[in-house]
Amino acid sequence: MADEERQGEHDQLLAPLRSRIDELDKRLVELLNERAKVVVEIGQLKRSNTAPIYAPHREAAVLRQALENNHGPLPDRTIEGIFRELMSGSFALEQPLRIGFLGPIGSFSHAAAVAHFGSSVSFENMHDIEGVFTEVRRGHVDYGLVPIENSTGGAITEALDAFRDTRGEVWIYAEVAATIRHSLLSNTEPSRVTRIYSKPEIFAQCRRWLATQYPSAKLIPAPSSSQAVKEVGESYAADPTSGAAAIGSALAGRLYGVNVLFSDIEDNPNNITRFFIIARQKAEASGDDKTTIMFTIPNEPGALATVLRTFADAGINLTHIDKRPSGRENWSYTFFVDAQGHRDDPILAQTLRLLQHRCQELHILGSYPRATRIL
């Protein structure tokens, strides 16, 4: 059979399937716009009652229901991505949102913000963690996203200090968990890479891969991974034979026009960063929540053990504990714990009332839906 005949038969088999896809696409667009009309009505009601446009407990319920309704063949991750973009478009219809993040543009915080909020909201580079808190507190942005803990590097101390200094002015509104995926980016051929730019911490996280793939390349520190990607793009534009590459996010590559040569080059594929979304309002209970508490204790034997035992006696699981200098006197510390449950749950509420009398100070930083999936 001639190639032309085989191609003709192939096209005949594909034609009805493609026609079916076109019909389904048309129905999808119609249903999406029908949903959007309801979203517009919801937005009008929210604005008349000054209710928040972004409600994490409702987001969690929508995603949970979507995944329960998914019977394949599309994987849950795809369904979640579609619905996050759908909710992002809904925000834009109800009221445009501005999200502050730890910059620069193309940073892993920026990538996490886009993955969580979708591409239909505005993202504002706040340059540092303190700036995110300041702009949320002043109402210059609607919400802020800040890193709180990395699975390999530990707590983000700047964020803990910011919570310590702004308690009662901003609240933890939601939790986001995102995999940190490093990519080697360049506009030259892989074999021609001679210089690689990135943050020293990122070089450390890709040490084994670099030693195997680019043992002779010069590793050049940069103030940020996204700045490294930007500089590589500019270097290639000025000299296509520069041999420069950067390690950063795929998002930074798209923003600065630099191609991904190799993705997922981190030595630990389970490198996950937790982020908190902060807001001027408190989150409602979702049925699967955490509460973050900050407290100081008397400088006496057993004081910390007493606090921890109070949680244990109530059957409350603590998923995280950390400490920072109190900023008041040497060797005095502020403790941070994440407890399972919402502040309004009867058992946790009673436990917190008991602890008010056992701590020098105790502040609830927020109750919020637990991140159940990793972006």
pLDDT band of residue 257 (cuts 50, 70, 90) is very high
Q: How many CB atoms lie within 10 A of CB 372?
A: 13
Predicted confidence band at 217 (pLDDT cuts at 50, 70, 90)? very high
Q: Are 108 and 177 in contact (CB under 8 A)?
A: no
- Which uninterrupted H or E stretch holds 149? strand 143-150
Residues 171-199 have pLDDT tens digits of 999 999 998 899 999 999 999 999 999 99
When pLDDT is averaged across residues 227-252 and rounded to a whole number, the result is 90
Q: Which domains does the chain have, with CATH numbers?
A: 22-91 (1.20.59.10), 98-179 (3.40.190.10), 183-262 (3.40.190.10), 289-369 (3.30.70.260)
Asked if the model's pLDDT at residue 324 lies above 70, the reply is yes
Whether 273 is catalytic is yes
Q: Which two tokens stand for residue 100?
A: 């502050």
Tell me the per-residue pLDDT of 286-300, one tens digit each, with 9 for 90 and over.
Answer: 999 999 999 998 888
pLDDT over 80 at 328, yes or no: no
What residue has token string 């490093």?
182
pLDDT at position 3 over 80 = no
In the prediction, which pLDDT does 8 show? 67
- The predicted model gives 123-151 an average pLDDT of 93
Residue type at 171? W
Instruction: Summarize the confidence of residues 243-258 as an average pLDDT.
Output: 92
pLDDT at 96 over 90: no
Decide if pLDDT at 1 tops 60: no
pLDDT, mean of residues 353-360: 91
Catalytic position from the list 117, 123, 163, 275: 275
> In 10 A of CB 186, how many CB atoms?
27
Give the pLDDT band of residue 259 (cuts 50, 70, 90).
very high
> Rounded to whole angstroms, how far apart are CA atoms 86 and 29?
12
Residue in the block written with tokens 């310590």: 164
Please report the DSSP string for 195-264 in residue order. Answer: EEEE-HHHHHHTHHHHHHH-TTSEEEE-S-HHHHHHHHHHHHHH-TT--EEEEE-HHHHHHHT--EEE--
What's the burial of 249, exposed, middle or buried (CB within 10 Å: 0-12/13-18/19+)?
Answer: buried
For residue 373, is pLDDT > 80? yes
Cβ proximity of 263 and 183 under 8 Å: yes
Please give the pLDDT value at position 347.
95
**Angular region, 194: left φ>0, alpha ψ -120 to 50, beta rest:** alpha
pLDDT grade for 5, boundaries at 50, 70 and 90: low
User: Is residue 140 within 8 Å of residue 114, measured between CB atoms?
Assistant: no
Is residue 311 exposed (0-12), middle (13-18) or buried (19+ Cβ within 10 Å)?
A: buried
SS3 294: strand
Q: What is the pLDDT of residue 7?
A: 66
- 176 Rama class: left (phi>0) / alpha (psi -120 to 50) / beta: beta
Instruction: Name, in order, each residue with C-beta under 8 angstroms of 281's C-beta and a sequence gap of 6 or more.
Output: 52, 171, 173
The token pair that represents 292 in the structure block = 């973050």
Quick check: 270 and 166 in contact, CB under 8 A? no
Alpha helix (H) ranges present in 259-345? 303-313
- What is the chain's mean pLDDT, rounded? 90
Evaluate if residue 122 carries a pLDDT over 70.
Answer: yes
Residues 6+ apart with CB under 8 A from 67: 76, 79, 80
Q: What is the pLDDT of residues 44-88, one digit of tens each?
A: 888 888 788 888 998 889 999 999 999 989 999 899 999 998 888
Which one from 134, 188, 273, 291 is the annotated catalytic residue? 273
Higher pLDDT, 276 or 105: 276
Mean pLDDT of 220-242: 89
Residue 235 corresponds to which tokens in the numbers above?
């270097």
Distances (CA, A) of 194 to 137, 259, 280: 45, 16, 48
Q: Above 60 in pLDDT, residue 268?
A: yes
